Structure 1
Amino acid sequence: MRAEPHAAAPAAASTVAPAAAPLAGAPFGASTLPAVLDRNAREHPDRVAYREKDLGIWIEYPWQAALEEVTLAAAGFLELGLRPGEGLLIIGDNRPQLYFGMLAATLIRAIPVPVYPDAVPDEVIHIATQGDARFALAEDQEQVDKLLELRERIPVLERIVYDDPRGLGAYDEPALVACTRVRELGRLRVEREPRFLEGALAQVQPGDVAVLLHSSGTTGLPKGVPLTHANLLAAVANAHRAGYFQEHEEAVAYLPMAWVGDFTFSVAAALALRFTVNLPERQETLLRDLRAVGPTFYFAPPRSWDNLLTAVQVRMEESTRLKRLLYRHFMGFATGLEKARLQGRRPSWLQRLWRGVGELAIYGPLKDQLGLARVQRAFTAGEAIGEDTFLYFRALGVNLKQFYGQTENGALTAAQGDDEVRLETVGRPLPGAELRVDDSGEILVRGPSVFRGYWRNPEATARAVVDGWFHTGDAGYLDERGHLVILGRVEDVVRTQGGTRFVPQYIENRLKFSPYVREAAVVGDRRPYLAAMICIDLQAVGHWAEVRGIAYTSYADLSQKPEVYRLIGQAVARVNGLLPEELRIRRFVNLHKEFDPDDGELTRTRKLRRGLVAERYAPVIEALYGQGDTVDVTARIVYEDGREGELRRTLRVEEVEARRALPA
């Protein structure tokens, strides 16, 4: 199925991207992650591998110390009874002991199974059971309590190892074991077996599963995605050859450990290219810690870049008039310069001179405040990034580029090069990754980084991997220059009542380019026109309202303000201006709440679960196609003590054509 040009592939010069020859042998002098760690400890014993901020102090783990931590943990797990092929559930925020635990599991040929720290109980149970996780490694008391509550529903789970002992001293629970105790047991075993490490390294094979990750689960329970050592090292090697990674990067690990990007960047690439991985004290201190670190490599999803931009704009609104004037002048100048550069025009010497003045006055200090002063490679992926956000950071002097990948091939399929940045594409396929687009418009990938199949799911594997080609489920095309354009999910390509094909995600992403729109769901399958359900961005819209003296009491109250409807209506109208008449959004509603992963409406990677949303918001959708201008909704709410209640709201339904310009 192929959609119209605005939402799917126009005629392209080629549907096949040639792949460079894959690297032969072990690309980094070793063929497994523990072997690469051992290499680093021998060749660079004193270079810092991981650095953690704890109680305001940075604690460093050089490569030699990291290898010792991993070795002792591996030996300790064996002493406690963890065996090859069994799962080690990992739950918590980014902490060195959790990374060491994952590597320790691979050293004894067990399988690390990370899970999102905020995953709902059913997700934890499904992932732990599917991964045969007899052991769990938890960050702290919060995660321990969660696992203890769920233990009866996870019959395979026997031991819970914890890192942070605070609050756990009084627990009388035989299943609990401290990380310090695991290391003690490991040390005793290593003393008995002086060649323990050497023997363990010899047993690990490139084809062993290095991590069991899970798909986003947009249409059901997440599928297990086993990635081998060979898969991960091939993915890193491909990206390294394309200039995506360099050796000795300073990186920050703050994204969920259950996400493929974190494992690929903070473990596989960090080991292979000897990164220094910095771990913030808490998620809340990320921006402050980011500035202290000064990373050279930084990845953030589009929403994080949007949040950074919003924070800057809010702070500038609160600054002095002179600072606001200087900021607007220099940022406007730099944005225009970047637009021209992306179109192939070179700046004049006078423009370069003025750009240098702006670097001293505005750009440099602002990058320093954001912790981006030393970033040489900045990337974004996961969904489309707004043009304004993308241009802003590139104008600021951040070398921000887009890339594309899947869990099933180590997150790395295509990426933009330094001299080939284009707003509408995600770049060329990486060396070693072969890519083509089939007759239905689906993107297919083949290469050594691609997994062999889903965990214990032969039916899903048979559908996804055919003749070595992984069917990504994404719709797209290769343009005349061989750059990949992503349109959305193939399964989401639908038709209006008039027969026009479209990809809802394509339109939703463009709606979310507005800083005032956090999430959107576009509907119109077999309907006479398109409509949209909008979730406003509370921070951005809240600040906008406060500046204009618009009082509100809650998210729901703010979303229904007439002024906010006019504001969102303008954002919808701007997107309509990019679409053909038959695919313009005719009516929209501001929802009373955000789509929430805890409510099942989004995956943990913030992908829309369309089936559930369509079912849950069926009355709202019907109202969008009815004659009325309001709809009554009932929302189920869960209080902190576990009690449930209902919240009734009346939502306005608005015609886009009725929008009037709102004064600036």
Structure 2
Amino acid sequence: MQEKQYGIWQPITWAGYAERVKDTAHGLAALGIERGEIVAVLGDNRPEWLIAELAAQSMGCAVVGIYPTSIGEELRHILTTARARVVVAEDQEQVDKLLRLLDEEDPADSEPLLIERIVYYDPHGLEQYDDAVLLEFTDLEAMGRERASEQPTWFEEQIASGSAEDIAVICTTSGTTSKPKLGELSHSNLLTMGQNLTQIDPIRTKDRYVSFLPFAWIGEQMLAVACGLSNGVTISFPEDSATQRSDLREIGPDIMFSPPRIWESMLSEVQVRIDEAGWLKRKVFGWGYDVGDKVAAMRVTGKKPGPALALSHKLADAVATRPVRDQLGLARIRRCYTGGAPLGPDVFRFYHAIGVNLKQIYGQTEICGIAVVHRDDDVPFNTVGTPIPGTEMRITDDGEILLRSASVFRGYHRQPEETAKTVDADGWLHTGDAGYLDDNGHLVVIDRAKDVLTAADGTRYSSAFIENKLKFSPYVEEAVVFAPSDSPDDAGGMTALIILDPATVGSWAEHERLSYTTYTDLAAKPEVYDLIAEETTRANEDLPETIRVTRFVLLHKQLDPDDDEITRTRKVRRNVIADRYAQIISALQRGADDVTIHSRVTYQDGTSIERELTLDIFDLTTYTIPQGRGRRPVWSGRR
């Protein structure tokens, strides 16, 4: 591993890594942790996160990762369900959250917290804290070294006592409809998944991986930990969130795995930077992109370009697309993956056109994150690929996707009834997702089965599919689409709440010399409504007429995981949105011209005020794109 501190990469050898794991395991034992317990880890990715994880696993314990942005009841739910006595926390921010929880009274409907020790690994700001529950990570390791000198054979005995079927990690589910469940994954589950994936996509010992997504997410456990450990990958930890992009470019990873929001934000960044470039650079990139797009369209179906196109592609790559890959930190990428939510086909097409071998995976926490993946040179953009070796898949009569493999989880922690609903007696994992196989045997995922709808003409569709079309616009950060209601007052047609991307819309506003103060002010501008109306109309052109968006509103705020509107992995909680913005949704469906709401605004100093806001509703049925206005290219925000 290596971690960047004060601008310098600090390496940790495998031998040094092993020694620190041993010391930490002894330290945990000195705190009274015993085989079978669960240790919680809360914080951003640092070497100490993985050292704590492997130390716990070495002594027959499991680790539950908690997203560093988790607060309040979400944090309490995970800690009480896991019955964690020791929490390894990153810094002052995380320590403060835990101490606040300990000071609060346990709710009547909740189990008591059992936390006895909080071990922190970044001491900045904690020098004056004297709470007896706190312990610095270096002191834990020192305790471990002292104990190791007294019990020199204990660590090896603990490893020898372990079993492949022991719980290795507990990962939380996405929790889009309720409190997250805690899925138990064994060592065997994770290693089998890693072995099966590397049969398709070999991982080399010298490969580099940049770890910046939370270890609480199954995706990072899957690639950085399971695949990384079993193949000897070097893992690099960026200095902080502000330097992630530059650190990514400096390392130039060989493999990468990120959810759609990362790929979408990188595309938005490209669009903004190209729009700010001079006309010559724009022309050159436009030509290079078109050549790359032609080659990519052939390559993803296993075909090879002819000599003339191959030569043009080499030139286009040198002068246009490789510099963009380099700016994104993807110059050395052999293959990269997206998963956790669907990624729009248009975004896929962009990355393949610039020479990035991006592939979709499909899976869930309950099957170690991966069961289906694209193969190299066989990447239909509207599918998620075919099952990895060792994985069986079938589609039920009502369209639900079922999966079975040695990577199916042990069950939900302390929830046997929920486990029985999810895995049947024959070992099939009921994913709850609806899908079908195309003519080539590729899996096409529609949406969560309960969210699949039927249009008036019988067309089965997914709100997520329409939302992805809208989100392909660089100006749209998030969209939530609603079908017509059963009310006789409903005006008919699909409606949408649209959340702006403040960076790209802000850049557009600056280019248009449009002044604004806050996000709320920007979202209320008529010019911005016109911009989004054109983008939505373009998206509608690619949709069947029965499921086109007819009305939309620009929401006055961004969706926030702290408000339970989206999960920590940026999945929309539809039930929360439907309840919280019921007044706006009702006005949209009635065909009203506007809607007046009351919104509470909290400032950085903790004070808050309630404001009355009137949100305009834009009716697309009376809108036409101005004559002569061309369609904007995929790589640009400009028309």
- Is the structural similarity TM-score above 0.5? yes
Q: Which runs of 4+ in 1 moved over 4 A?
A: 495-501
Match of 2:537 among 561, 569, 573: 573
**One of 439, 442, 452 as aligned partner of 1:480:** 439
In 2, the alpha carbon distance for the partners of 1:229 and 1:266 equals 14
Looking at structure 2, the residues matched to 342 and 205 of structure 1 have their Cα atoms a distance apart, in angstroms, of: 42
* Deviation (angstroms), 1:324: 2.3
CA contact (8 A) 2:214 2:220 kept: yes
Counterpart among 534, 553, 562 of residue 589 in structure 1: 553
Matching residue's letter, 2:366? E
- Residue 394 (structure 2) pairs with residue 443 (structure 1): no
- CA drift at 1:474: 1.0
- Which residue of the other structure, out of 77, 81, 84, is the alignment partner of 2:35? 84
Specify the code of the residue in structure 1 equivalent to 2:27: G
Conserved 8 A contact 2:62-2:168 = yes
Aligned to 2:503: 539
How many residues are treated as equivalent by the alignment? Answer: 615
Supply the AA of the counterpart residue of 2:436: Y
Shift in CA distance, 453/338, structure 1 to aligned 2, threshold 3 Å: same
Q: Distance in 2 between matches of 1:276 and 1:649?
A: 51
The AA in structure 1 aligned to 2:517 is: T
Structure 1 spans left out of the alignment, 5+ residues: 1-49
CA deviation map 1:184-239 (0-9, x unaligned): 11111111122223201111111111011111111111111010001000111110
Q: Pick which of 129-138 and 539-548 moved more.
A: 539-548
Structure 2 unaligned runs (5+)?
107-111, 487-491, 630-638
Q: Give the distance between the partners of 2:464 and 2:75, measured in 1 at CA.
A: 28
Amino acid at match of 2:439: E
Contact 2:301 2:378 in 1 (8 A): no
- Equivalent in 226, 233, 244 of residue 268 of structure 1: 226
Q: Are the aligned partners of 1:510 and 1:575 in contact in 2 as well (CA < 8 Å)?
A: yes
Aligned to 2:170, what secondary structure does the other structure show? strand
- Select which of 589, 592, 607 maps to 1:643: 607
More moved, 531-540 vs 573-582: 573-582
Would you say the 8 A contact 1:223–1:455 is kept in 2?
yes
Quote the Cα distance in structure 2 between the aligned partners of 1:144 and 1:435. Answer: 44
Q: Distance in 2 between matches of 1:271 and 1:112?
A: 16
What is the TM-score with the length of structure 1 in the denominator?
0.89
Point out the more displaced range, 307-316 or 350-359: 307-316
Contact 1:566 1:661 in 2 (8 A): no
Q: Please name the residue that 1:66 is paired with.
A: 17
User: 1:247 offset after TM fit, Å?
Assistant: 4.0
Answer with 595-604 or 575-584: which moved more: 575-584
Question: 1:89/1:525 Cα in 2 relative to 1: closer, same or farther (>3 Å)?
Answer: farther
Correspondent of 2:474 among 515, 520, 542? 515
**1:401 aligned to which of 359, 381, 388:** 359
Q: Return the offset for 1:500.
A: 5.9
Whether the 8 Å CA contact 2:302–2:378 is kept in 1: the answer is: no
Higher mean alpha-carbon deviation, 380-389 vs 432-441, is at: 380-389
Tell me the equivalent position of 1:375.
333
Aligned to 2:526: 562
Match of 1:390 in 2: 348
Structure 1 position 505 matched with structure 2 position 469: no
Structure possessing the higher relative contact order (Cα contacts under 8 Å, 6 or more residues apart): 1
Contact 1:244 1:377 survives alignment (8 Å): no
Q: Structure 2-normalised TM-score?
A: 0.93
* Deviation by residue 1:623-659 (Cα, 9 ceiling, x = unmatched): 1122420101222233334333323211111111222
What residue in structure 1 maps to residue 589 of structure 2? 625
**Structure 1 pair 496–349 and aligned structure 2 pair: CA distance change class (3 A):** closer
State the distance in 1 between where 2:86 and 2:93 align. 17
CA contact (8 A) 2:42 2:90 kept: yes
State the percentage of identical aligned residues: 43
> What pairs up with 1:417-428 in 2 under 5 angstroms?
417-428=375-386
Q: In the TM superposition, what is the alpha-carbon distance from 1:525 to its structure 2 partner? A: 5.3
Q: Which residue of 1 aligns with 2:89?
A: 138
Pairing 1:198-237 to 2, within 5 Å after superposition: 198-237=156-195
Aligned: 1:95 with 2:59: no
- Measure the CA separation in 1 of the matches of 2:311 and 2:191: 43
Partner of 1:123: 74
Give the one of 517, 521, 530 matched to 2:494: 530
1:453 aligns with 2:411: yes
1:271-420 → structure 2 map (5 Å cutoff) = 271-342=229-300, 346-420=304-378
1:147 aligns with 2:98: yes
- Determine the C-alpha separation between the residues in 1 that align with 2:444 and 2:203: 22
Q: What does residue range 165-184 of structure 1 map to in structure 2 within 5 Å? A: 165-184=123-142
Q: What is residue 109 of structure 2 aligned with on the other side? A: none
The amino acid of 1:121's aligned partner reads: G
User: How much has 1:495 moved relative to structure 2?
Assistant: 4.5
Indicate the larger mover: 143-152 or 223-232: 143-152
For 2:239, what is the secondary structure of its paired residue?
coil
Taking the aligned partners of 2:465 and 2:315, their CA distance within structure 1 comes to: 39
| Cα distance change of structure 1 residues 88 and 366 upon mapping to structure 2, 3 Å threshold | same
Instruction: State yes or no: 1:615 paired with 2:579.
Output: yes
- 1:414-467 deviations in whole A, cap 9, x for unaligned? 111112111111111100111111111111111100012211112211211112
Q: Measure the CA separation in 2 of the matches of 1:143 and 1:82.
A: 21
- Residue deviations 1:514-573 (CA, integer Å, cap 9, x gap): 222111111115444321111111111221222122222221222222222222222322
Name the residue aligned to 2:120.
162
AA aligned to 2:537 is A
**Residue of structure 1 equivalent to 2:62:** 111
